[in-house]
A and B are shown apart, each in its own frame.
Chain A
Amino acid sequence: LFFRVHNVLNRESFVDLSDHLQKNVDEIFNTNNIEVDLSDIRFSEPAGIVGLIIFTRFLYNEYGIKSIIKMPNNVEAHKYLLNAGITKDKGVITEFENINNSMYLQTILNKLGIAGNKTTSVNFIAVTDIVSEEDIKNVNKKFEDWMVDNNYSEEEKNDLQVLVSELCQNISQHSETVQNGVFLMQGYTYKSLGDEKRCIISIGDTGIGIKGSLDKKKKINEAARWEDDYTIRMVLKNGLSSKEDDQFRGNGFFNLQRLAKKHNLNFYIHSHGGLFYCEYSESKLSKKIQQTIYPIKGTQVSFELRTKKHK
């Protein structure tokens, strides 16, 4: 049974994957495999890559199903996915078809620091495990370098690094993730928009989700009745904490909303069966999508930062 992603692997691909799972759940369980066909794609965004990692890990963690990912025919898209770390779970969780072995070897050599053309650009941080404080400091340092290169103010640099730090800490402190949480960043330059620069960061885990975290600690009694999408909305609004007897926690999502408004970010949150997407423009909410999907365990937060105003 296969599912084909057309043209772009992005956050919407994750919704499509969830729909596909819902419609074909019996067949997937009977055949005990699924193929995600990326042969048609030409472009991948961090939210799509992290979403695919969460999706394949979920199938493995919940049902022991190994996913097969068919790699893109487009050379650049193929190379990009390898460099981004799409093969991170190769072996037990995922297998790959149509993989270009020479590119794959080159990627492995790059990661080992053996090959000569190892990328040093701060425009890109491949899938990185978030486990320790040191991991958070390291990804934040690279993110800071990107912001320095793109003329961000001190205030913006500080605010956004704080946001990355808080979101990464959510993984290590609250998520109870099965596999290590992951971080991925990509900077873009849009020639068609007068060299506008953008940066997308995506952070994900395969843990108990925001609602699961609240339910477990029984911090918010009424949360037991909330749907996943409504829970996301409430934590954004109120910064609810899942930590029992602790009034000092739970600021990560509250601050995401606050800083999105302040810095005109677009952000996207998936947590189990809930999705939430917001766009801010001129410090006002310009678009909001709240929806339910077939529940896929884990949480993903992505946000996009634009630099147009600096040009």
Chain B
Amino acid sequence: LYITKLISEGETKFWTRDKGTEVRNKILSEFELSGESILVIDFTGVEIVDFSFASEVVAISVSRLAKELSGKHILIRGMNKSVEENVSVAIERAALCVLIYEDENAWKLIGKYSDALLTTFKLIKDLKKTDTPTLAEKLNSTIPVMNNRLRALTDLGLVIKEESSAPSGGKQYNYYCII
């Protein structure tokens, strides 16, 4: 885990897209240098963020998990009600979602996601390690449908995808929940 605290430099109120870009660039470059795979953005002590700041720091970072940050993951924690509302709107407007994780019993997704995606995520979390056929069977669905959901969850950085060799000699993928 690489944990970054937003208030580390003493500020508790964060405004504007420019400030968000500056903070995001700093966080992501330090995260990449750390070599860790999970970034925890800790909002503890932050009083307020506007939508533009939230969009730059959270929504754009999450969107990059499907591209240049592929294989990395993002968690959020420590948000007060107001900050959570603004981050939620920012990420929902970008048609993305992110995981808020406080502890094993206090986690939730915020943003835009379907019930089916949430159900699949919960099942992966319960199973610890799984694969497409298992999920399809347990959710009474098909492998193509499951593959689509797993691709979405992987692009959002909510699951870890690991390649292994199938008994038949081909490739197969196992999936782990990030929490």
Q: Is the CB of B93 within 8 A of A254?
A: yes
A155 touches which of B17, B51, B81, B95 (Cβ 8 Å): B81
The CB with the most chain A CB atoms within 10 A, among B50, B63, B81, is that of B50
**Interface of chain A residues 38 through 85 with chain B (CB within 8 A):** none
Q: Is the CB of A248 within 8 A of B59?
A: yes
Contacts of B94 in A (CB 8 A): 247-248
Knowing A165-B15, A165-B16 touch, does A248 contact B90 (C-beta < 8 A)? yes
Knowing A158-B47, A248-B60 touch, does A166 contact B82 (C-beta < 8 A)? no
Q: Is the CB of A169 within 8 A of B16?
A: yes
B side interface size, CB within 8 A = 25
Q: Of all chain B residues, which has the CB nearest A140?
A: B15
**A161 CA / B47 CA spacing, docked (Å):** 12
Q: Is the CB of B51 within 8 A of A166?
A: yes
Produce 1/0 per residue, A126-163, CB < 8 A to B. 00000001001100100000000000001100110110
**A144 CA / B50 CA spacing, docked (Å):** 14
Decide yes or no whether A192 CB sits under 8 A from chain B: no
Produce 1/0 per residue, B108-149, CB < 8 A to A. 000000000000000000000000000000000000000000
The CB with the most chain B CB atoms within 10 A, among A137, A155, A159, A169, is that of A169
A-B contact count (CB 8 A): 64
Decide yes or no whether A239 CB sits under 8 A from chain B: yes
**A169 CA / B56 CA spacing, docked (Å):** 14
**A239 CA / B88 CA spacing, docked (Å):** 15
**Interface of chain A residues 213 through 256 with chain B (CB within 8 A):** 239, 247-252, 254-255
Contacts of B56 in A (CB 8 A): 248
- For chain A, the bracket of interface size reads 20 to 34
Classify the secondary structure of A's interface with B. Answer: helix
Contacts of B89 in A (CB 8 A): 251, 255, 258
Q: Of all chain B residues, which has the CB nearest A161?
A: B48
**Interface of chain B residues 52 through 98 with chain A (CB within 8 A):** 52, 55-56, 59-60, 63, 81-82, 85-86, 89-90, 93-95
Decide yes or no whether A102 CB sits under 8 A from chain B: no
Decide yes or no whether B19 CB sits under 8 A from chain A: yes
**A249 CA / B85 CA spacing, docked (Å):** 17
Decide yes or no whether A173 CB sits under 8 A from chain B: yes
Q: Is the CB of B15 within 8 A of A137?
A: yes
Q: Of all chain A residues, which has the CB nearest B91?
A: A248
* Whole-angstrom distance between the Cβ of A175 and the nearest chain B Cβ: 14
Contacts of A250 in B (CB 8 A): 93
Q: Is the CB of A251 within 8 A of B15?
A: no
**Interface of chain B residues 8 through 33 with chain A (CB within 8 A):** 15-19
Q: Of all chain A residues, which has the CB nearest B47?
A: A158
Q: Is the CB of A133 within 8 A of B86?
A: no
A162 touches which of B19, B48, B63, B93 (Cβ 8 Å): B48
**A169 CA / B94 CA spacing, docked (Å):** 19
Q: Is the CB of A162 within 8 A of B59?
A: no
A133-B19, A248-B56, A254-B93 given; name 7 further pairs at CB < 8 Å.
Answer: A136-B16, A162-B49, A165-B52, A169-B17, A249-B55, A251-B51, A252-B51
Q: Which 9 A-B pairs have the closest CB atoms?
A: A158-B82, A165-B50, A162-B50, A248-B55, A251-B51, A158-B48, A133-B16, A165-B15, A247-B94
Chain B interface (Cβ within 8 Å of chain A)? 15-19, 47-52, 55-56, 59-60, 63, 81-82, 85-86, 89-90, 93-95
